[in-house]
Amino acid sequence: MRVIAGKAKGHRLKAPKRAATRPATDLVRGAIFSILETATSDWTQVLDLFSGSGALGIEALSRGAGWVDFVEHNPLCCGIIKQNLAKTKLGAQA
């Protein structure tokens, strides 16, 4: 799994191995952002519910979102999100 576009393009993201998550594929995330970019979307705040690895929110930050709130219950996943934010240097906006 990797960041598709923006400031962090190409960064590989970690995903939780033992958690019961199903991360959105690069193709699905690309399709979501293609739709959102053609609409008049407000990128000042993004909410990533059931974040898992944080890939969707990190993709939004990479593409210029002002702030992302990650919501995740699993402590293992929360740690992975923090690692992915540190790796992409986007943690200041989360």
The predicted pLDDT at position 19 comes to: 63
Distance CA 60, CA 62 (A): 5
Cβ–Cβ < 8 Å for 50, 71: yes
Q: Enumerate domains of the chain plus CATH numbers.
A: 26-93 (3.40.50.150)
Distance CA 70, CA 4 (A): 19
The distance in angstroms from the start CA to the end CA of the chain is: 20
Model pTM score = 0.86
CA separation (Å) from 68 to 11, 59, 71, 73? 18, 10, 10, 16
The predicted pLDDT at position 39 comes to: 76
Cβ–Cβ < 8 Å for 85, 91: yes
pLDDT tens track, the chain, 94 positions: 889 999 999 999 998 887 677 777 788 888 888 888 777 767 788 999 999 999 999 999 999 889 999 999 999 999 999 999 999 999 998 8
